[in-house]
């Protein structure tokens, strides 16, 4: 057994100890969602400190990752959003360092960050998600782009498949809007995802826990001005209304929670996450849009809002997520390795 394996096995062989743990709250980073991540991370940092956790801010865009071990951090709370934080890259580095971290592992994080790959898994598991067209860079000719409207009826959504917070997302209602929507999306990702627009209420459903312990929190219905639940309205205005209780029937809310939990487990997610969905107005059928494996934790964020409705304070939510931190490589240390 290597020294790193021995250290990891020792750390993970006993429950999280609030009195001995030293926690790095990773925030900021280099993605397009840096500003939001700093807001999330500072909220988490304050919450953990209020519960007596020895927690410190850690920005991987400003500090080398090897300082996680050099500075003696025993756990990492990942409050990064988007690329190089929510896509499996940070998770992979922490696996190599054998440091437990919050949220999903490498593979689930990477898949969930890629909306196209996520949809492939959901469709294979017969989970409802909007019809879509996915184009790699060499396929994005003017002729091919025009054909999208023949395959997906207007209105439709154009988005970069590996961004969050509605960055680069455009709703297209007329054929002459399609090319500009594509140009906007490929500013953020060379690949392109176009989806059928589901007309109806937008909802979100947080999930906390791992495996058989995973459970859904209350569903939130999102009512945005003119249906524009974009980056600005998500984080910097108070014009969006969040309904929790959702105002949906008990049966429909249960259907949404069941679908969200299946979506979460099918991707191999753990710790916590949040499924975003649309409800088709004409028949109240829910459709999965995406899975967030490191959701926002700002004052406008939905997971703490849902948790509050379930009687869980922001501070206790942060502590609960932290106490579920794990590391696959350390957990994989076998008895033979320790002999």
Q: Is 276 designated active site? A: yes
Paired strand residues for 285: 280
Among 40, 292, 306, 329, the one annotated catalytic: 292
Please report which helix (H) or strand (E) contains residue 132, including its range.
strand 132-135
Q: Is 231 designated active site? A: no
Residues with Cβ within 8 Å of 126's Cβ and at least 6 positions away in sequence, in order, are none
Among 296, 301, 306, 314, the one annotated catalytic: 296
Q: Is 165 designated active site? A: yes
Among 28, 29, 31, 33, the one annotated catalytic: 33
Contact 154, 173 (CB under 8 A): yes
Q: Is 314 designated active site? A: no
Using DSSP, state whether 193 is helix, strand or coil.
strand
Residue from 158, 161, 164 nearest 33 by CA = 164
Among 83, 162, 270, 274, the one annotated catalytic: 274
Contact 87, 110 (CB under 8 A): yes
Dihedral of CA atoms 125, 326, 37, 196 in degrees, nearest 10, equals 0
Among 28, 164, 196, 235, the one annotated catalytic: 235
Helix and strand element counts for the chain (H, E)? 14, 13
Q: Is 274 designated active site? A: yes
* Both structure tokens of 294: 């490191």
Among 163, 189, 191, 290, the one annotated catalytic: 290
Among 95, 189, 276, 324, the one annotated catalytic: 276
Q: Is 296 designated active site? A: yes
Contact 29, 37 (CB under 8 A): yes
Residue from 207, 193, 185, 234 nearest 292 by CA = 207
Q: Is 33 designated active site? A: yes
Count the Cβ atoms, other than its own, within 10 Å of residue 72.
9
Q: Is 324 designated active site? A: no
Paired strand residues for 78: 26
Among 31, 104, 132, 165, the one annotated catalytic: 165
Active site residues: 33, 165, 235, 274, 276, 290, 292, 296
């Amino acid at each position: 057994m290597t020294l790193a394996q021995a250290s990891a096995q020792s750390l993970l062989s006993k429950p999280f100890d609030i009195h001995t743990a030293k926690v790095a709250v990773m925030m900021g980073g280099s993605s397009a969602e840096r500003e939001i991540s700093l807001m999330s991370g500072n909220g988490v940092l304050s919450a953990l400190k209020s519960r007596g956790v020895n927690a410190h801010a850690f920005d991987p865009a400003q500090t080398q990752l090897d300082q996680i071990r050099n500075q003696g951090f025993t756990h990492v709370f990942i409050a990064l959003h988007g690329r190089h934080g929510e896509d499996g890259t940070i998770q992979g580095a922490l696996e190599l360092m054998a440091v437990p971290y919050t949220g999903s592992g490498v593979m689930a994080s990477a898949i969930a960050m890629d909306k196209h790959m996520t949809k492939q898994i959901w469709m294979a598991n017969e989970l409802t998600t909007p019809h879509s067209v996915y184009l790699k860079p060499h396929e994005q000719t003017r002729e091919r782009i025009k054909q999208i409207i023949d395959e997906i009826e207007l209105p439709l959504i154009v988005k970069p498949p590996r961004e969050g917070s509605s960055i680069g997302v455009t709703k297209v209602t007329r054929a002459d809007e399609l090319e500009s929507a594509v140009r906007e999306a490929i500013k953020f990702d060379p690949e392109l995802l176009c989806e059928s627009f589901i007309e109806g209420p937008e909802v979100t459903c947080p999930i906390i826990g791992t495996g058989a312990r995973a459970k859904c929190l209350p569903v939130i219905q999102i009512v945005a001005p003119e249906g524009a639940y974009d980056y600005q309205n998500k984080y910097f205005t108070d014009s969006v209304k969040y309904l929790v209780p959702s105002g949906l029937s008990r049966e429909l809310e249960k259907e949404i929670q069941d679908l969200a939990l299946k979506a979460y487990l099918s991707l191999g997610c753990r710790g916590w996450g949040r499924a975003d969905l649309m409800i088709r107005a004409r028949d109240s059928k829910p459709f999965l849009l995406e899975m967030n494996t490191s959701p926002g934790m700002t004052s406008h964020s939905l997971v703490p809002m849902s948790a509050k409705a379930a009687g869980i304070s922001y501070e206790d939510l942060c502590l609960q997520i932290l106490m579920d931190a794990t590391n696959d490589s350390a957990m994989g240390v076998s008895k033979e390795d320790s002999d």
